[in-house]
Amino acid sequence: PSQTPEILLIRQTRPDVAGRLAERFRLHRIEEAPDREALLDAVGPRIRALAVGAMCPVDATLFDRLPRLEIVASFGVGYDTIDVTEAARRGIVVTHTPDVLSDEVADLALGLLLATLRRIPQADRYLRAGRWREGSFPLTTSLRERRVGILGLGRIGRAIARRLEGFGVAIAYHGRTPQGDVPYAYHDSLLGLARAVDTLIVAAPGGPGTTGIVDAGVLAALGADGIVVNIARGSVIDEAALIAALQSGTILGAGLDVFENEPQVPQALIDLDQTVLLPHVGSGSHHTRAAMGRLLTDNLFSWFDGGGPVTPVPETPWKGRR
Ligand code: 8YV
């Protein structure tokens, strides 16, 4: 067997990532294989690392085909599509790309919040349609005097909160544990937070613990001026309940960068005038995607240099084995 570690790329198409990895490793690309099963049969037993792209499913069925797998390096901070419990059970380390995208996603969250409140895309469409000559664009709701709740005060939630401080609004949050080092009001239940605010920004990780937690009751508690912004995972919001709440006027509007079944977006959300919808672009700048790519490759280089992973997920801490 060759000494060069062999890496399987799944949904990982960035040329800079593949280029840097190819300097040191032997790469196999699953999407380029005419027959995925045949590729797994042929090279699966030699694969020591996976480099995976956005929202890539990685589970026991795949691990079964990769008996020498040591590490999964994922592109993105969220890893709800990776079975980290199973990885931990098998001694496989999973890495992600935290921190390098927090400011970018937080910037986008504020942009989406303002776009939703002040109807910036709708105003742009109004101008382009030549309607300004007919009269002024209708007045909108405002960020002024709003109380903003953040669901999930992790790295990205904190970056959002820091930006909101500059806007002079009241900030509260809900998460599993109160954070000692922030001046924002903590609510020990999501429903309690929703009752206390009129604007909810979702920044919680996806996965089984958060599926559908923004439900009909939470939405109703925001009230008729309620605005929901989601830059996290579509699964955190009960999308059918959100559509119903928007259609009935239970809440006022929603700004969404993520959806339950991407890239499918329910026609009902598209048909609504009070939604701003983005195609999962939170981290999508040249600057930040390049930084994410560097961190992914740094993890693999460090691992095969014997230095351990740079940014392992907490579920698969490195214990200095290998
Ligand atoms: C995706 C994201 O990884 O980091 C995350 O959790 O959702 C995004 O940054 C991105 O879409 C990858 O292409």
Indicate whether 1 pLDDT > 50: no
pLDDT in tens, 20-67: 999 999 999 999 999 999 999 999 999 999 999 988 999 999 999 999
Q: Which two tokens stand for residue 47?
A: 């694969």
Confidence of residue 257 (pLDDT cuts 50, 70, 90): very high
Q: Which two tokens stand for residue 293?
A: 């790519």
Left, alpha or beta for 132 (phi > 0: left; psi -120 to 50: alpha)? alpha
- Mean pLDDT calculated for residue range 9-18: 96
Residues of the chain with CATH 3.40.50.720: 6-100+287-304, 102-277
- Going from the Cα of 54 to the center of ligand 1, the distance in angstroms, rounded, reads 5
Asked if 174 is an active-site residue, the reply is: no
Sign of CA dihedral 128, 130, 132, 135: negative
- Going from the Cα of 232 to the center of ligand 1, the distance in angstroms, rounded, reads 9
- 318 vs 312: CA distance, rounded Å: 7
Taking the CB of residue 211, how many other CB atoms lie within 10 A of it?
14
- 250 vs 271: CA distance, rounded Å: 17
Hey, whose CA ends up nearest to atom 8 of ligand 1? 76
Hey, whose CA ends up nearest to atom 4 of ligand 1? 76
Q: CA angle 202-290-30, nearest 5°?
A: 90
For residues 203 and 153, the answer to whether their CB atoms sit within 8 Å is yes
Hey, whose CA ends up nearest to atom 5 of ligand 1? 76
Asked if 262 is an active-site residue, the reply is: yes
Q: Which of 233, 239, 260, 289 is catalytic?
A: 233
Q: Which amino acid is at 152?
A: G
Q: What percentage of residues in the chain have a pLDDT greater than 70?
A: 99
Left, alpha or beta for 11 (phi > 0: left; psi -120 to 50: alpha)? left
- 203 vs 258: CA distance, rounded Å: 11
For residues 90 and 63, the answer to whether their CB atoms sit within 8 Å is yes
pLDDT in tens, 56-81: 999 999 999 999 999 999 999 999 99
Q: What is 167-192 written as a DSSP string?
A: TT-EEEEE-SS--TT--SEEESSHHH
Give, rounded to a whole angstrom, the gap between the first and last alpha carbons of the chain. 19
- Going from the Cα of 255 to the center of ligand 1, the distance in angstroms, rounded, reads 18
Asked if 145 is an active-site residue, the reply is: no
Q: What is the mean pLDDT of the chain?
A: 97
Hey, whose CA ends up nearest to atom 6 of ligand 1? 78
Q: Which residues line ligand 1 (CB under 6 A)?
A: 54, 75-78, 101, 280, 283
CATH topology of domain 6-100+287-304: Rossmann fold (3.40.50)
Q: Which two tokens stand for residue 292?
A: 């994410």
pLDDT in tens, 192-245: 999 999 999 999 999 999 999 999 999 999 999 999 999 999 999 999 999 999
Residues whose CB falls within 8 Å of the CB of residue 158, separated by 6 or more in sequence, listed in order = 102, 182
Alpha carbon separation from 217 to 175, 192, 231, 238, 240 (Å, rounded): 18, 11, 21, 11, 13
- 63 vs 58: CA distance, rounded Å: 8
CATH topology of domain 102-277: Rossmann fold (3.40.50)
- Going from the Cα of 113 to the center of ligand 1, the distance in angstroms, rounded, reads 19
- Ligand 1 pocket mutation pick from 56, 72, 77 by most atoms within 8 angstroms of CB: 77
- 29 vs 115: CA distance, rounded Å: 39
SS3 259: coil
Indicate whether 2 pLDDT > 80: no
Scanning the structure block, which residue is given the tokens 């119903």? 244
76 Cα nearest atom in ligand 1:
4
For residues 147 and 199, the answer to whether their CB atoms sit within 8 Å is yes
- Going from the Cα of 282 to the center of ligand 1, the distance in angstroms, rounded, reads 8
- 321 vs 84: CA distance, rounded Å: 18
- Going from the Cα of 314 to the center of ligand 1, the distance in angstroms, rounded, reads 18
Hey, whose CA ends up nearest to atom 13 of ligand 1? 54
Name 151's bridge partners.
174, 202
For residues 156 and 311, the answer to whether their CB atoms sit within 8 Å is no
74 Cα nearest atom in ligand 1:
3
Q: Which two tokens stand for residue 226?
A: 């309620």
